[in-house]
Amino acid sequence: MKDDLPLALIAVFVPFSLASIGGGISVMAGIQHETVDVHHWVTARDFVDLFAISRAAPGPGSMLTTLIGWHVMGWTGAIIATLSLFVPSSLLCYGVALVWRRYRGRRWHTAMEMGLTPIGIGLLLAGVVSILRIGGGGFLAWAVAFGSAGLMAWRPRLPPLLVFALGGIIFIVARAIAEGRMAL
Amino acid sequence: MSDPSSRPTITAIFSVFLRIGLLSFGGGVTGWVFREVVTLRHWIEEDEFMSGLAMSQILPGTNIGNLSIYVGQRLRGGLGAAAALVGLLCGPFFSVIALVSAYSTIREVPFVDTAMNGIAAAAIGMVLIIVGRGARRFVMDPAAAMAMLATFVSVGLLHWSLPLTAFIVGTISVLVAFLRTKTHEG
């Protein structure tokens, strides 16, 4: 059974790589089902913790997959899970990008470029809304997001980590004030 | 940037994406790619970024992984794409694993969740910059503005199927664009 583990990791994550239209978030529920309910690689509680850790680390949220691999089989599992999630979709994307560049300048190419760009922006905004919803924070989260956008658009060379730290501090101050009020 | 000798080297691509991977706390990685590759280094034009962004979201796979492949391929072909993706994933790969062992300790620190939510909200600001740049180019283009709005309302507010939305709105939007390029050519 243990010998089949690497193959099982590949069999679970490769399909998600090719099914994840709309990004990693779109297959999170499916990954949770497969790894918690079907294969019992992690408990439901572990999954929530690993999700929180992947959010706290830099990089894409789909590094959650790396953590599941790590949890199951250490370094080998982490590498297998990460490659299974990223390689298939990347090869497909590479192929499309190659063909895409070859036909640059054709009329249908220009039309696709013009027509799809607004879809890309619309999806990006939809992603923003869902991320702010997951993080909670309501009005304050939106205010900080727009404030940070304004600040960084105005001063593009300002180190983003400075702006992020400011966002963290604003949230902590807001919570401290809210809790102080409740204590009174 | 059309001069091939001014194209960034594989090492430069790798180190910029390594930097993006390591610094992109709180999500918003797409915003980092825009900042590092378009705003600061002018490696690709804003137009090309926007078109790659749409492609990376519509194709399966993580948006940011696909976007790295697109940018790397555009700059240096296959090796460039590999350098961008590996660079992007290296830092986060070791960071998440390091965080697992530290997590139980970190969780005990008061306000850490609150700070993380604040950081994530600020990081979203970087993504909003791209939305702003995109929206600005749609002001003079009602068809594009409607396509953007329809996509956002359908996926972001009504939670309808993303592939179906992209397919329907995308088909209409591309057809409209196709008819308009004809009139442009006279």
Note the ipTM here: 0.88
CB contacts under 8 A, A 39-78 vs B, are 49-50, 52-63, 66-67, 70-71, 78
Side-chain half-sphere exposure of B185, counting CA atoms within 13 A = 11
Integer angstrom CA distances of residue B16 from B38, B72, B133? 12, 11, 22
Residues B124 and B151 in one domain: no
Residues B147 and B167 in one domain: yes
B19 inside 8 A of chain A by CB = no
Residue B145 and residue B77 share a domain = no
For residues B129 and B157, membership in a common domain is answered with: no
Q: Out of B48-52, B62-66, B92-96, B178-182, which region has the weakest mean confidence (pLDDT)?
A: B178-182
| A103 Cβ under 8 Å from any chain B Cβ | no
- pLDDT at B152 exceeding the cut of 70: yes
The minimal CB distance from B156 to the residues A89, A125, A149 is found for A125
Question: What is the average pLDDT value for chain B, to the nearest integer?
Answer: 90
Q: What is the mean pLDDT of chain A?
A: 89
Segment A30-49, tens digit of pLDDT = 888 899 999 999 998 888 88
- Between helices A64-102 and A5-19, what is the axis angle to 10°? 50
Distance CA B158, CA A60 (A): 25
Q: Is A106 on the interface with B (CB under 8 A)?
A: no
Mean pLDDT of A46-69: 88
Distance of alpha carbon B74 from the chain centroid: 15
Statement to judge: residues B33 and B21 lie in one domain: yes
- Same-domain check for residues B111 and B177: no
Q: Do B50 and B128 share a domain, yes or no? A: yes
Chain B residues 98-117 with a CB less than 8 Å from chain A: 99-100, 103, 106, 111, 114-117
- pLDDT tens per residue across span A78-137: 999 999 999 999 999 999 999 988 888 889 998 998 999 999 999 999 888 887 877 666
Which pLDDT belongs to residue B5? 55
CB atoms within 10 A of CB B171: 11
pLDDT at B1: 45
Segment B82-123, tens digit of pLDDT? 999 999 999 999 999 999 888 878 778 888 888 888 998 999
- For residues B81 and B93, state if they share a domain: yes
Can you give the residue range of the structural domain that contains B87? 4-137
How many angstroms separate the Cα of A48 from the Cα of each of A67, B50, B63, B149, B161?
Answer: 12, 34, 22, 33, 25
Question: Do B132 and B67 have their domain in common?
Answer: yes
Residue spans of alpha helices (H) in A22-154: 28-32, 44-56, 64-102, 107-135, 138-154
**Domain chopping of chain A, boundaries:** 1-102
Same domain, B15 and B87: yes
Contact (CB<8Å) B53/A124: yes
Domain end (from B97, B119, B137): B137
Query: What band does B186 get if pLDDT is binned at 50, 70 and 90?
Result: very low
Name the residue of chain A whose CA is nearest to B53's CA: A120
Q: What is the distance between the alpha carbons of residues A134 and B25, in angstroms, rounded to a whole number?
A: 16
The reported pLDDT for the residue numbered A141 is 92
Count of the separate structural domains present in chain B: 2
A41-67 as b/e: b if 16+ CB within 10 A: bbeeeebebbbbbbbbbbbbbbbbbbb
Question: Structure tokens of A122?
Answer: 């619309």
